[in-house]
Chain A
C-alpha cells in the first residue's frame, strides 16, 4: 500500500483505480483501467453500449459479492484504502450513492423510500427524518410534485418522478461518492437540466462519477471525462480539452463528433 501512495501522491484523490479488470465468468467486461478521481470533482464516463461503463460502477460500489461470476482484479483505492480488504463492506456501501438507469423504487411510500438509508444509519427521530426527506426531495427537484402525497407508494409516481425519487434516496445516504448511471434516461429535458444544476452544487459536498450516453451532458457537467470503448479506457482528460479536439486518440474525437456532434 505504501507503494501505491508513493505513485499517486496527490492528497485529494478520492478514488484511485489501478489495473482494474472485471470479468463475468469467461467474459471480460473491462480490461486494465487506470484512473484517478479527485475529491469534489464530477468525473464523466462516456462510451457506447457494451463499453464497460456500468461494470465499472458496479466494481466501485463493490457489488461483486452479490453478482454471480463477477470478479474484480486490480485495485480500487477509496481515500487510499484498498476496497478489497474492507472488513465491513456494508459500511462502505452506505457511503456510496448509486442511481441506476431505470428507476428502482423500493415498494415503499415516497417518504419511506427516502428515509430508508437514514434509518439504516440508525436515525430514528421523526423531526430529523422529516428534515432529511424534505431536503433531499427538494434537491432532486421533486418536492413540489410530491409534498402532498409523501405517504403514497413510490411506484405510483411517473417514470421520471421515480427516477428523481431514486436520486433523492441516494442523496439521503449523505454519500461521499455519488455514482450516476445514465440517470436522465427516463427524465424529461427540463427536469434533467434542473437535476444537472443540482449536481453542480453537490460537487461542493461530494465526488460524482457520471456515466452518460449523452456526450453533451458530460460536456456540461464533467470536470474530466474518460472514454470507454469495448472494455477498454481509450483515454481520459480534461473535458474542456477533449471537446476542443485535444485528444490523444482519434476514436475519441470520432465518438464525440460522429454520434452526437
Chain B
C-alpha cells in the first residue's frame, strides 16, 4: 500500500506515521500512571468511607433510632442507667458556630481579596499576600489558645456575661481562622481574570468599583464560590479550636453567649476514652459518617453551583 505513495521530493522527511516512537510510548505510560493515580485517590476515599461505615454500622443496624439520634438533645453516652445518644444539640452547636464564622469570614475575606487583588499595588500587595498566607499557617490549637486566654476574658468584660467560652467566641475564632485561606483562594480567582477585561471596561469610562463589581466579580464567580465553600468546609470540620473556645457543654444555644459543643469536638474528646467496639464507640463513628455525608453534600452543592454558573 505504502509502496504506491510517491517517495516525496524531500527524502529526509517522512516520519513514519505508523511508527510508534519513544514519545508515543512515554505518552501511553504517563496516561497509565495518571490513570492509576486517579483510581487510587478514589480507592482511598472509598476505603475511608468503608472503614468508618464498618465501625459505625454496628450501631446503625442495632439500636439506631433516627428520632432519638437526630431529634434528641440528650447526649449522655456514659450514663450508667440509660445512655442516650441525641446529637441535635451537637449539630446545632456546630451549625451555630460555623454560621457565625461565615458571617465573620465572608465579608472579611472577600474584602481583603478585593483589596489585595484589585486596589493595592506593588510592595503593599506583596507584603499583604505574605502576611495573609502566614495567618493561614497558624495551627488551630494556637487559635484555640487565643480563644481561651484572650477572647474569653475579653467577652466576659465587654458583655458582662459569666462565661466567655461560647458560640460568639468559637464563631469569631473560626471565622478568623477560615478567612486567610478564603482570601488566598478568592484572590487567585480575581487574579485569573484577564487584564484586557479590565482595560476594555476602563476604556468605556467605568470607575474602579464599577470594573470590580460589573466585570471582575462576575467573571471570578466560580472561584469565589469555591473559596466560600472551602471556608464552610473548614469551619464545619475544625475540631481543636472549637473544642477550646466553645465551652464544650451540651446545650441548645439560644443566644451567642451560650456555651455549645460541636460534633467534631465530641469525637475528639470522647473517642480515646471509649472501649473499642462499645456502643459509645460506634455512635462516635456514626457521627463520623454523618460529618462525612455533610462534607460530601457541601462539595456536591459547590460542584452544582459551579456547573450552573458555567452553563450561563
Given contacts A1-B1, A120-B23, A91 and B16 within 8 Å (CB-CB): yes
Assuming the A-B contacts A1-B1, A88-B24, A90-B27, are A81 and B17 also in contact, with contact meaning beta carbons closer than 8 angstroms in the complex? yes
User: Knowing A1-B1, A176-B13 touch, does A91 contact B21 (C-beta < 8 A)?
Assistant: yes
Inside 8 A of A81's CB, which chain B residues have their CB? 1-2, 5, 17
- The reply to whether B17 and A92 contact each other, CB–CB distance below 8 Å, is yes
Query: Is A145 in contact with chain B by the CB < 8 A criterion?
Result: no
Residues of A within 8 A of B2 (CB): 81
Residues in A with CB closer than 8 Å to B4 are 5, 80
Is B18 in the interface zone, CB < 8 Å from A?
A: yes
Which residues, 66 to 111 on A, are CB-close (under 8 Å) to B?
Answer: 79-81, 86-92, 94-95
Q: In this assembly, does A3 line the interface, its C-beta being within 8 Å of a C-beta of chain B? A: no
A79 with B6: CB separation less than 8 A: yes
Does A11 sit at the interface, judged by CB under 8 A?
Answer: yes
Q: Are B6 and A176 in contact (CB under 8 A)?
A: no
> Is B121 in contact with chain A by the CB < 8 A criterion?
no
The smallest beta-carbon distance between B260 and chain A, in angstroms, is: 49
Contacting residue for B18 out of A5, A12, A87, A174, CB 8 A = A87
In contact, A88 and B21 (Cβ under 8 angstroms)? yes
Docked pose: A81 CA to B2 CA in angstroms = 8
Determine the interface band of chain A, counting residues with CB < 8 A from chain B. 20 to 34
- How many A-B contacts are there with CB distance less than 8 Å? 50
Beta-carbon nearest neighbor of B23 in chain A: A90
**Cβ contact within 8 Å between A88 and B17:** yes
B19 adjacent to chain A (CB < 8 Å): yes
Q: Which residue of B lies closest to A120 (CB)?
A: B23
Of A5, A86, A120, A174, the residue contacting B17 (CB under 8 A) is A86
Q: Mark B3-21, 1 if CB is under 8 A from A, else 0.
A: 0111011100101111111
- Complex Cα distance, B110 from A25, in Å, reads 40
Residue of B4, B10, B13, B27 with highest tally of chain A CB at under 10 A? B4
Q: Could you mark each residue 147-189 of chain A with 1 if its beta carbon is under 8 Å from any beta carbon of chain B, else 0?
A: 0000000000000000000000000001010000000000000
A176: B residues at CB distance < 8 A: 8, 10, 13
Minimal beta-carbon separation of A93 from chain B (angstroms) = 9
Contact of A79 among B8, B21, B24, B27 (CB under 8 A): B8
A175 to B, closest residue via Cβ: B13
Contacts of B19 in A (CB 8 A): 87-88, 91
Contact with B along A189-224 (1 / 0, CB 8 A): 000000000000000010000000000000000000
Which residue from chain B places its CB closest to the CB of A87 in the assembled complex? B18
Tell me if B6 and A91 are in contact (CB < 8 A). Answer: no
B contact residues around A80 at 8 Å (CB): 4-6
Chain A proximity of B4: nearest CB distance (Å) = 6
How many interface residues does chain B have, given as a range?
A: 10 to 19
Interface centre among B13, B15, B16 (most CB of A within 10 A): B15
The answer to whether B18 and A86 touch across the interface, beta carbons within 8 angstroms, is yes
What's the least CB distance linking B310 to chain A, in Å? 14
Residue of B nearest to A174 (CB): B13
The answer for the CA separation of A176 and B9 in the assembled complex, in Å, is 11
CB of A20, distance to nearest CB on chain B (Å): 19
Most chain A beta-carbon contacts within 10 A, residue among B5, B17, B20, B24: B17
Report how far A114 CA is from B152 CA in the complex, Å.
64
B84 to chain A, nearest CB (A): 55
**Contact indicator A91/B17 (Cβ below 8 Å):** yes
Q: Within 8 Å CB of A92, what residues of B? A: 15, 17
The answer to whether B10 touches A90 (Cβ under 8 A) is no
Bound complex: CA of A81 vs CA of B18, how far in Å? Answer: 11
Residue of A at shortest CB range from B22?
A122
The reply to whether A88 and B10 form a contact with Cβ atoms under 8 Å apart is no
**A79 touching B23 in the complex, CB below 8 Å, given contacts A87-B18, A91-B17, A92-B17:** no
Residues of B contacting A91 in the complex (Cβ-Cβ under 8 angstroms):
15-17, 19, 21, 24
Across the interface, name the chain B residue whose C-beta is closest to A1. Answer: B1
List residues of chain A with CB within 8 A of the CB of B10.
176, 205
A13 to chain B, nearest CB (A): 9
Interface 0/1 of A117-148, CB less than 8 Å to B = 00010000000000000000000000000000
Contact A87 B13 (CB under 8 A): no
Of all chain A residues, the one with the shortest Cβ separation from B27 is A90
Q: Which of A5, A81, A174 gathers the greatest number of chain B CB atoms within 10 Å?
A: A81
Residue of B1, B13, B18, B27 near A95 (CB, 8 A) is B13
In the bound complex, what is the Cα–Cα distance between A79 and B17 (angstroms)?
A: 11
Q: Which residue of A lies closest to B6 (CB)?
A: A11
Contacts of B23 in A (CB 8 A): 90, 120
A/B interface sample: 20 pairs, CB < 8 A: A1-B1, A12-B6, A39-B9, A80-B5, A80-B6, A81-B5, A81-B17, A86-B17, A86-B18, A87-B18, A88-B16, A89-B17, A90-B24, A91-B15, A91-B17, A94-B15, A95-B15, A120-B23, A174-B13, A176-B8
Q: Give the 7 A-B residue pairs with the shortest CB-CB distance, closest first.
A: A86-B17, A91-B15, A87-B18, A92-B17, A80-B5, A79-B5, A91-B17
| Sample of 11 further A-B pairs with CB below 8 A, known A79-B6, A81-B1 | A11-B6, A39-B8, A80-B4, A80-B5, A81-B5, A81-B17, A88-B20, A88-B24, A89-B17, A90-B23, A91-B24
